[in-house]
Chains A and B, each alone.
Chain A
Amino acid sequence: MILAKRISLYTVLVICAIIMMFPIFYAFSISFMDGGEVMGGQLLPSSLSLDNYLEVFKKVPLLTYLLNSFVTSAIVMGGQLLVSSLAAFAFVFIKFKGRDFVFFLFISTMMIPWEATMVPNFMTIQSLGWTNSYLGLTIPFFALAFGTFLLRQHFKTIPQELYEASQVAGISRFRFFWNVILPVSRSSLITLGIYSFLTNWNMYLWPLLVTNTESARTVQIGLKQLQTQEIASDWGIVMAGVVIVILPTLLLLFAGQKKLQKGLTQGAIK
Chain B
Amino acid sequence: MNDARELLPVPSQESRPKRNLFAFLEGWLYLLPSIILFGVFVFYPMFRTIYLSFFLADQMGPFEFVGLENYQYIVSSDSFQSSVKATILFVLYTVPAGILLALFLALLTNEKIKGIGIFRTLFSSTMGMSVAASSVIWMFMYNPSIGVFSRIAEWLGFPAIQWLQNPDYALLAVSLSTVWMNAGFAYLIILGGLQNIDTHLYENAKVAGVSYLYQLRRITLPMLSPTLFFIVTVSFINAFQTFGQIDILTKGGPVESTNVIVYSIYKDAFINNDVGSASAQAVILFFCVLLLTALQFKLGERKVHYQ
Min Cβ gap B125→A in Å is 6
State whether the Cβ of A47 lies closer than 8 Å to any Cβ in chain B: no
| Least Cβ–Cβ distance between A191 and chain B, in angstroms | 12
Contact B241 A86 (CB under 8 A): no
Q: Is the CB of A90 within 8 A of B240?
A: no
Q: What is the CA–CA distance of A205 and B267 in the complex, to the nearest angstrom?
A: 12
Is B137's beta carbon under 8 Å from chain A? Answer: yes
Interface string of B261-303 (1 = CB under 8 A from A): 0100110011000010011001101100110011001000000
Shortest A44–chain B CB gap in Å is: 13
Interface residues on B, range: 35 or more
User: Are B282 and A117 in contact, with the CB atoms below 8 A?
Assistant: yes
Mostly, the A contact residues are: helix
Contacting pair B31 A198 (CB below 8 A) = no
Q: Tell whether, in the assembled complex, residue B44 and residue A120 are in contact, meaning their CB atoms are under 8 Å apart.
A: yes
A86 interface neighbour in B5, B30, B126, Cβ under 8 Å = B30
In the bound complex, do residue B128 and residue A111 qualify as a contact, i.e. CB atoms below 8 Å apart? no
Q: Is B37 an interface residue, CB under 8 A from the partner?
A: yes
Contact B46 A265 (CB under 8 A): no
Q: Which residues of B contact A38 (CB under 8 A)?
A: 146
Main secondary structure, interface of B, reads helix
CA distance A121 to B78 in the complex (A): 28
Q: B45 touching A124 by the CB < 8 A rule?
A: yes
- Would you call A115 and B241 a contact (CB within 8 A)? yes
A1-20 near B? 1/0 per residue, CB < 8 Å: 10000100110110011001
Q: Beta-carbon contacts of B221-265 to A below 8 Å, as 1s and 0s?
A: 000001100100010010011011001100000000000001001
What are the residues of chain B within 8 A of A1 when measuring CB–CB?
A: 111, 113
Contact (Cβ within 8 A) B122 A17:
yes
B141 within 8 A of A: yes
- Assess whether A133 is interfacial by the CB under 8 Å rule: no
Q: B188 contacts which chain A residues (CB < 8 A)? A: 257, 260-261, 264-265
A253 → chain B closest CB, angstroms: 3
CB distance from A237 to the nearest CB of B (A): 11
Contacts A169-B4, A253-B124, A253-B127 known; A95 to B132 CB distance under 8 Å?
Answer: no
A121 and B227 within 8 A (CB): no
Evaluate contact between B270 and A168: CB separation under 8 angstroms: no
* B75 interface contact, C-beta 8 A: no
Given A165-B1, A261-B191 in contact, is the A113-B123 Cβ separation under 8 Å?
A: no
Contact between A6 and B130 (Cβ–Cβ < 8 Å)? no
Residues A143-184 near B (CB distance < 8 A): 143, 148, 165, 168-169, 173
A27–B137 touching, CB < 8 Å = yes
By the criterion CB–CB under 8 Å, are B304 and A249 in contact? no
Q: How far is the CA of A268 from the CA of B196 in the complex (A)?
A: 13
A57 at the interface (CB under 8 A from B): no
Contacts of B111 in A (CB 8 A): 1, 9
CB closest residue in chain B, given A246: B133
Are A116 and B133 neighbours in the complex by a CB distance under 8 Å? no
Contacting chain A: which of B19-27, B80-88, B90-98?
Answer: B19-27
Residue of A nearest to B265 (CB): A115
Residue of A nearest to B307 (CB): A269
Closest Cβ of chain B to A101, distance in Å, is 11
The answer to whether B37 and A142 have CB atoms under 8 Å apart is yes
* Interface band, chain A: 35 or more
Report chain B residues within 8 Å CB of A106: 34, 38
Residue in A16, A257, A262 whose CB lies within 8 Å of B108 = A16
Instruction: Say if the beta carbon of B16 comes within 8 Å of chain A.
Output: no
Chain A residue at minimal CB-CB distance from B297: A107
Cα distance A147–B244 in the bound complex, in angstroms: 24
Which residues from chain B contact A90 at a C-beta distance below 8 Å? Answer: 26-27, 30-31
Evaluate contact between B130 and A204: CB separation under 8 angstroms: yes
Asked if B266 and A242 make an inter-chain contact with CB atoms under 8 angstroms apart, the answer reads: no
Q: Tell me if A205 and B266 are in contact (CB < 8 A).
A: yes
- In the assembled complex, B214 has its CB within 8 A of some CB on chain A: no
Residues B34 and A86 in contact, CB atoms below 8 Å apart: yes
How many angstroms from the CA of A200 to the CA of B165 in the assembled complex?
Answer: 31
**Residue from A110, A117, A238 with most neighbouring chain B CB atoms (10 Å):** A117
Q: Are B243 and A115 in contact (CB under 8 A)?
A: yes
Interface residue A30 (Cβ < 8 Å from any Cβ of B): yes
Identify which of residues 165-195 in chain B touch chain A, using a CB-to-CB cut-off of 8 Å: 180, 183, 188-189, 191-193
CB distance from B305 to the nearest CB of A (A): 12
A26-B148, A261-B124 given; 7 more Cβ-contact pairs under 8 Å: A13-B109, A90-B30, A119-B282, A140-B41, A223-B133, A257-B120, A261-B188
